[in-house]
Amino acid sequence: MNYNNSPLLEKSLKFASRVVKLYKYLHDSKKETIISKQLLRSATSIGANANEAAYALSKSDFIFKLHISLKECAETEYWLRLLEMSDYITEEEAQSIINDCLEVKRILVASLNTAKSENKDSE
């Protein structure tokens, strides 16, 4: 799958890369391991499930995988907000990466709405 042809796959991969770098910073500089590991898992799962959706066996499977991505995106947003509230990252740092998270979330919601609409039309 060509990531340049899919805004969701491209943006979720770039977002995951940002989170990996944040994880390294939190782990190495702030000695924070619990929240950052949760963040790493949920953020990297967004793109992994979206990538699986691209190879879904059916429209229902596609929708299911995107729903998992959306749930992981919501969890990721939670961990980012918690890191900010716990003073591990600044408000400015948090807002920047949360904005990226919300952009991925908007794409996921739009993709799900389109897929569900197309799925209803084919029934």
Domains of the chain: 7-121 (1.20.1440.60)
pTM given for the model = 0.93
**Average pLDDT along the chain:** 95
The pLDDT score that the predictor gives to residue 5 is 86
pLDDT tens-digit map of 84-120? 999 999 999 999 999 999 999 999 999 999 999 988 7
pLDDT at 88: 97
Integer Cα distance of 93 and 53 in angstroms: 30
